[in-house]
Amino acid sequence: MRKLQTLLWMIWRRDPLLSFFLLQKIGAWLVPKYRFNWPQLAWWDDNEFNAYLKRFDELDSNNADRHWMLAQLMRLVSEVPGDTAECGVFKGASSYLICQGNQKAKVRRIHHMFDSFSGLSEPSLRDGDFWSGGDLACSLDEVRANLAEFGEDAVRFYEGWIPDRFSEVSDRRFSFVHIDVDLFEPTRDSLAFFYPRMHVGGIILCDDYGFTTCPGATAACDEYLQDRPESMIGLSCGGGFLIKKGPQPQ
């Protein structure tokens, strides 16, 4: 009876931390494999970041911590020369953060975006059965509108299947590349093209690394890096990244 009274008192007080622990207990019963994050994390109260999440309808999504991590990794390359790129753009939420990072960088950059803008290609046997062709479609016009504030000089769009249009930036070198294509073949093709063009200290972030829904993307990263000096560092929020070692690209 006393425990019930304590529980009701906690709910009545609406104490955020105590309510969180209550939710955690309920969650452990309903979804035992899910782990709640700490509510005291300072970035949860970052007004600028929360405005960004609201803009892309991500305020209450499961992707918030991954977006935060991307923004932090962009800070690591603020002095690394080279353009930025994203393979798999969807609505442009990640590219928005990359463009923000480019504005704050100490070097001038152009951000290049590659996407079919008609959804995923057909998965292979290595990709499991979670995804289907056409998933995650978003029009180029919508992405252009979402990134319009950065101006036409700061962004480039390449509509088509990966890697068909990579050759158009073959003479560019890169400081940050975000790969978010979910499937084995486009992940492999993206790594094969961009890795040799990364400046030392540059970062390749693979959004899908380590997800059980994206076994092909994880395998593509591990297989590509198995005879190279870098390793993919898995993130607790999902995804993984590498920091390019020497030598510098030609």
* pLDDT at residue number 41: 79
Q: How far apart (Å, rounded) are the C-alpha atoms in residues 180 and 161?
A: 13
- How far does Cα 94 stand from its chain's mean position? 6
* pLDDT at residue number 85: 99
3-state DSSP call for residue 215? helix
- Interval 111-124 mean pLDDT: 98
Question: Could you state, in order of their start, the residue ranges of all structural domains in the chain?
Answer: 15-45, 49-243
- Report whether pLDDT(22) > 80: no
CA 229 vs CA 18, 84, 206, 232, 250: distances in Å: 46, 22, 17, 10, 18
Tell me: the pLDDT tens digits for 156-195? 999 999 999 999 999 999 999 999 999 999 999 999 999 9
User: CB–CB of 222/183 below 8 Å?
Assistant: no
Please tell me the CATH code under which domain 49-243 is placed: 3.40.50.150
3-state DSSP call for residue 151? coil
More confident residue, 25 or 226: 226
Q: The whole model's pTM is what? A: 0.88
What DSSP character marks residue 13?
Answer: H
* pLDDT at residue number 151: 96
- Report whether pLDDT(49) > 90: yes
- Report whether pLDDT(7) > 70: no
Confidence tier at 235 by pLDDT (50, 70, 90): very high
* 175 closest CA partner among 144, 148, 153, 203: 203
3-state DSSP call for residue 175? strand
Which residues, listed in sequence order, are joined to residue 242 by a DSSP beta bridge?
204
User: CB–CB of 186/163 below 8 Å?
Assistant: yes
User: CB–CB of 127/171 below 8 Å?
Assistant: no
* 242 closest CA partner among 185, 197, 202, 210: 202
List, in order, residues 6 or more apart from 66 with CB less than 8 Å away.
Answer: 207, 235, 237, 238, 239
Checking DSSP bridges between strand 198-206 and strand 240-243, what pairing results, if any? antiparallel
* pLDDT at residue number 183: 98
- Interval 209-217 mean pLDDT: 97
- Report whether pLDDT(1) > 60: no
